[in-house]
Amino acid sequence: MTNTTVHFGTFVPQGWRMDLVEIDDPVAQYAAMTRVAQAAEQAGYDSIWVYDHMHTVPTPEIETCFEAWTLTAALARDTQTVKLGQMVTCNGYRNPALLAKIASTVDVVSGGRLFCGLGAGWYEHEWRAYGFGFPERRDRMRAFREACEIVVRLWTDERASFSGEYYTIDGAINEPKGVQKPHIPLWIGGGGEQVTLKLVARLGNACNFGGGDLDTIRHKMGVLRQHCADVGRDFETLTRSTSLNIFLLEPGDDPEAATAAARGALSYEQFATDYMVATADQITSHIEALAAAGMNYILTYFPRVAYDQTMLARFAQQVMTRF
């Protein structure tokens, strides 16, 4: 048991990571998602999450990949208490004023359980396939900065206006604005030091960066602390999150044998570069180090969770209860 307060969320399988391919019927695939969401809620996770993508990874395949905001609204009605988020909404896929309106509606639908994640976007193949083009990084980041401003204004101003290089709104009315006060929590994804982390300090309620890597996280935390100081923001008011892909071993398990079904055609070495293959004690130690570096929210992803929720439940019992 540690004295550090750490909250935990988990991703539900939506197809993006090829995690529904063993189920043929799309209706049954969504039912599997619901089972995972409800299992996470019952196990005591604070939140469930989806990705905002249309094409699968690591390569685009003719496979299911459900749309993020439709899922968020649907899962809000399939659950009762767990919070719901997107890690993260791609700014290039929706006008930010429309996104603010969608989020406000979903916050009401969920009874005030929404986290709204937003990022600049990166999956070039997907952008181009769907006709969004793929602006240069400079333009994507500048548009993202304007989008964050617009979203918060739509959630707070009676009639929101903004005139920028990429977006303009003029007296936009957004009613209802949602349930949560002062507004829906805005989770900003990414660790860019010149734009993204500055936005976190100025407009965000939460951030997500580092992919669980301690050295990266320690460095970025220092940058974020300085940005908060520069704008007079209390660093401690921010939720600081990172994501961990986890394969939870039982004591005495042989890692290579235990991961065989989850790995498929991947070698153990390949699999272990993407997943933390470890026991509850080892994972707890790593999360303690993350907490010492400043993280207070961990987003988990478990392989094959669409088909078997045992690992999700074991993690809650064996790791989450220590925090």
Fold annotation for 7-322: TIM Barrel (3.20.20)
What's residue 69's pLDDT?
Answer: 98
Query: Which positions of the chain have pLDDT values less than 50?
Result: none
What's residue 3's pLDDT?
Answer: 62
Interval 138-193: pLDDT, tens: 999 999 999 999 999 999 999 999 999 999 999 999 999 999 999 999 999 999 99
Please state whether the predicted TM-score (pTM) of the whole model is above 0.85. yes
What's residue 4's pLDDT?
Answer: 67
- What would the 3-class secondary structure string for the chain be? CCCCCCEEEEECCCCCCCCCCCCCCHHHHHHHHHHHHHHHHHHCCCEEEECCCCCCCCCCCCCCCCCHHHHHHHHHHHCCCCEEEECCEEHHHCCHHHHHHHHHHHHHHCCCCECEEEECCCCHHHHHHCCCCCCCHHHHHHHHHHHHHHHHHHHHCCCEEEECCCCEEEEECCCCCCCCCCCCCEEEECCCCCCHHHHHHHHCCEEECCCCCHHHHHHHHHHHHHHHHHHCCCHHHCEEEEEEEEEEECCCCCHHHHCHHHHCCCCHHHHHHHCEEEEHHHHHHHHHHHHHCCCCEEEEECCCCCCCCHHHHHHHHHCHHHC
Domain ranges of the chain: 7-322
